Structure 1
C-alpha cells in the first residue's frame, strides 16, 4: 500500500500508511485519560506511535524528544503534537494535541468548579492543608532534579543563583530569562550540546502553510478579546507569554505563572495558587493545566477556556514552525548557549518559588512530619499520583 503524504506537514519514514486525523485524535484521547506522570508519558507515547501503530520510526521519535526538550512547553504535550505532525501534518498535530490535552482540561475544570463552591467546608480545608504541604515537597523535588540535570558546571549554578536573587528582588522573570539567554551565548561556547540526528525526508526548511493560517486566526482571537472582554484579553496575553518563555517542561511555567497571577495581577493569593498546583497533580496531563484552574477562578468557564487555549498555543506553534529547521538550528552555538542559559535560570526561579510556597504554609509539628514523609516518598521514586492520593486521604484524618 502506498503511504499517503500528509497535507501541510513533514512525512517521516514509516512502515504503515498515514493515519487519519480522527484516528490520531482517538488514540491520543485514550492515552490522555491515563496521562499521569508528566514526562514519563513519553514512554507510553512511544509505545503507541512507534511500536503498536508504527506511525513513526524509532529514529524519528528520538529526534522528536530532542526537539521537544529544546523548545518551550510541556514535553509530553509537545511530543503528542510532534507525533501527529510527523504522521499527518498540521492536521495530525492539532488532532493529537487536542486529544491528549482534553481529558486533563475537563477534569481540571470540574475540580475548579468543585473548589470554588466548597473550599470553605471543614473537610476541604483539612484536605488542602495537606495538599499545600505536598506542593512544597513536590516543587522542591522538581527543583532538585531540574538543578541536578542542568547544573553540570559552575556557570550553570551561578546563573541559577543570580536568577533566584533577581526574582527575589522583584525583577520580572521574563527579563531574567532574556538576560540568562544572552549570558548563555557568551558563557557556553560548546556547540555540541545536543545529540546529532539525520535530516529527515521531507524536511523542506519552510513553515507549513496551515500553521501560518492558524497563527493569523489566533492573533485575530486575541484582538477580538481586547474589544469583547478586557480581563479575558489580559488573561490570554499573560498565558501566551508564559508558555512562550517556559523552556524545560511544564514545571518551568509555574514560577512565571506565579509571578503574573499572584504578584503582578493579584488575581489570587499564594495559597490559592498552591491549591491549583495540587489539583494539577491529580489530573492527567502536564502540571501547566493549572492554567485552567486559574482561568476559571478569574473569569469562570470562559476564563478557563481562554487560559487553557493560550497556555498551549505558543509552544504548539513554535514546535510546528521550527521542526523543519531544527537540524540546522540545534547545532549552532548561539542556540545551544541561549537554551542552556534559559534552563539554568529556571533552576533559580523554581528555587525561589519553593521558598515562597514554604513561607506561605503555617508550619506546625504535624505538617513538618507530613512534609518529611512526602519528601521521602518522592525520593524513593514513588509515583507522584499515588503520593498525592495517599497524602490527600491522610490529610483529611490528620488536619
Structure 2
C-alpha cells in the first residue's frame, strides 16, 4: 500500500470475487464490466491505468480478462493485490466447473445428458468458428489482395498453422515461437539480436520436455505450456487443448472435449477455466487443481514481471513484432482446430442447423450471449433426440 487510495484491498478482492461469480459473456464482456465498474462508476482505476492494463493483456500471453484483472490488482496494491484479484476472479468459476465435472462423471452416461450435449456440442462449434473469424480480423485483418500484400508474412503464418493443425491434429508450439522470432527479425530486429541469442532459443524445446511420468506431472507440464501461448482470447487455447488431451494423450474423448468447452461457456468468469473441467476428468480434483494452476501461473508471472516496466516494453517495436508473429500462427491453429473438431461432430442436418444458428445469433442478435445459446442448444438437443429426428 504505497499511497492513499479511495478503496481497500478487501473491497477490490470482493469485487473480483463477485465478478468471477456472476460475470457472464466471455473475455470482451468481462473487460467491459471492469471498465464500467472500476473506471466509470467507482473511479478506483484511472482511464490511463485501465488502458495500460488492457494493452498489456493483449500484448503478453495469458487469457485477456484474467490478465487484466491481475494487472488492475497490481496497480495500487502491487504483488499482493495482483495475487488476491487474480485468485478471487478465478476461484468461483473453478469451483463451478469442478462441481459440474463431478455431476458429469456420475451422470454423463444417461441418455438425457447425452442429448443435452448433442445440441450443445454443435452450438460450441459455431461459437468457436465465429470466435476464430473475429480473432483473425483483429490480429491480421480481413483477407483481401491489399491485406495480403501488406501482411503477407502474417497470412503465411496463419495459413501454414491452419493447414498443419488440420493435417497433423497436433499443436505446433515450436512453429509459433519460430513465427514470432522470424517476424521480429524481418520487421523490427532488436539490438540484442546476435548469434548467442539464436543459440539460446535453440534450448526452448527442452523447456517443454516432459520430465515426469506421473499423470499430474504430465498435466502440469502440458497446461503450463498451453497457458504460455494464449494470446487475447481464452478460446485461443482450444487448438492446444484439443490436440493434447484428445489426440496425443487420450485423456478425453472428442465428445468430452466439446462438453468441457461448453461447460466453460455456461459458467461465469474466464473461458480458460475449461482446463479445470478437463483436469478433473483426467485425474480428479488434484488434476483440476493442477491444470488450473499450471494454466494461470504463466499469466500471473508475466503480468507482475512486466507491469512495472510496461510503458517501455509496449513501445518496443521488436516485442510487438514478436507478439504479432506468434498471434497470427496461434489464430491460424485455432482455425485449423475448428475444422478438425467440426468434421467429427457436425454429423447431420440438425447439428449443421444448430451451429449455423449459433453463428447467426451472435452476429445479428445483439442481446444474445454465449450462455443463452448453450442453454437453447441443450433444450433443442433433448427435443431432437426425444423425437428421434
- The corresponding residue for 1:11 is none
Give the unaligned 5+ runs of structure 2: 142-146, 191-210
1:396 matched to 2:382? The reply is yes
8 A Cα contact 1:100 1:285, kept in partner: yes
Q: 104, 117, 140: which one pairs with 2:129?
A: 140
CA distance in 2, matches of 1:386, 1:187: 45
The answer for the alignment partner of 2:157 in structure 1 is 159
Residue aligning to 1:37: 25
What corresponds to 1:349 in structure 2? 333
How far off is 1:251 after superposition? 1.2
Higher mean alpha-carbon deviation, 262-271 vs 180-189, is at: 180-189
Task: Tell me the equivalent position of 1:150.
Answer: 139
Separation in 2, partners of 1:128, 1:168: 24
Deviation at 1:88, TM superposition (A): 1.0
Task: From 308, 313, 317, give the equivalent of 1:333.
Answer: 317
CA contact (8 A) 1:281 1:388 kept: yes
8 Å CA contact 2:119, 2:379 repeated in 1:
no
- Partners of 2:44 and 2:329 in 1: how far apart? 36
Q: Deviations over 1:168-227 (max 9, x none)?
A: 343642112112112221454499xxxxxxxxxxxxxxxxxxxxxxxxxxxxxxxxxx88
In the superposition, the TM-score normalised over structure 1's length comes to: 0.84
Assess if the C-alpha contact under 8 Å between 2:122 and 2:346 holds in 1. no
The alpha carbon displacement at 1:58 in A equals 1.1
Contact 1:49 1:83 in 2 (8 A): no
- 1 CA distance for matches of 2:112 and 2:230? 35
Query: Which of 159, 165, 168 is matched with 2:166 structurally?
Result: 168
C-alpha distance in structure 2 between counterparts of 1:172 and 1:28, whole Å? 33
Cα deviations by residue, 1:121-171 (Å, 9 ceiling, x for unpaired): 110011011111011101100111011112233222221001112323436
Distance 1:362 1:61, change over 3 A: closer
Q: Within 5 A, what are the aligned runs for 1:171-210?
A: 172-189=171-188
Answer with 373-382 or 112-121: which moved more: 373-382
- Residue 67 of structure 2 corresponds to 78
The SS at the match of 2:228 is helix
2:220 paired with 1:231: no
Task: Provide, for residues 33-86 of structure 1, a one-character-per-residue CA deviation record: whole Å limited to 9, x for no partner.
Answer: 111112211121122222333322111111111111111111111111111111
Q: Structure 1 segments of 4 or more deviating over 6 A?
A: none
Please give the secondary structure, in 2, of the residue aligned with 1:363.
coil
Between Structure 1 and Structure 2, how many residues are aligned? 353
Shift of 1:371: 2.1
Q: How far apart in 2 are the matches of 1:344 and 1:378?
A: 24
- 1:314 corresponds to 2:321: no
The equivalent residue for 1:295 is: 279
Q: Distance in 2 between matches of 1:231 and 1:165?
A: 30
Describe the SS at the equivalent of 1:245: coil
C-alpha distance 172-256 of structure 1, shift in aligned 2 (>3 A): closer
Structure 1 segment 259-298 matched on structure 2, within 5 A: 259-298=243-282
Cα distance in 1 for partners of 2:43, 2:346 equals: 52
* Structure 1 alignment gaps of length 5 or more: 7-14, 192-225
Contact 1:81 1:316 (8 Å CA) reproduced: yes
2:57/2:64 contact within 8 Å kept? yes
Q: Does structure 1 retain, via aligned residues, the 8 Å contact 2:125–2:338?
A: yes
> Aligned-pair distance for 1:362?
5.2
Report the Cα distance in structure 1 between the residues aligned to 2:36 and 2:346, rounded to whole angstroms.
44
On the 8 A contact 2:57/2:232 being kept in 1, the answer is no
TM-score (normalised: structure 2): 0.86
Task: Give me the whole-angstrom Cα distance separating, in 2, the residues matched to 1:145 and 1:187.
Answer: 26
1:323 aligned residue? 307
Distance 1:188 1:119 in 2: 51
Give how far 1:101 is off.
0.9
Return the alpha-carbon distance in structure 2 between the equivalents of residues 43 and 338 of structure 1.
Answer: 27
Query: Structure 2 residue aligned with 1:5, among 2, 5, 23?
Result: 2
CA distance in structure 1 between the partners assigned to 2:182 and 2:129 by the alignment: 26
Matches of 1:356 and 1:343 in 2, distance apart? Answer: 20
1:29: how far off?
0.7
CA distance in 1, matches of 2:90, 2:171: 29
* Superposition pairs of residues 109-124 of structure 1, within 5 angstroms: 109-124=98-113
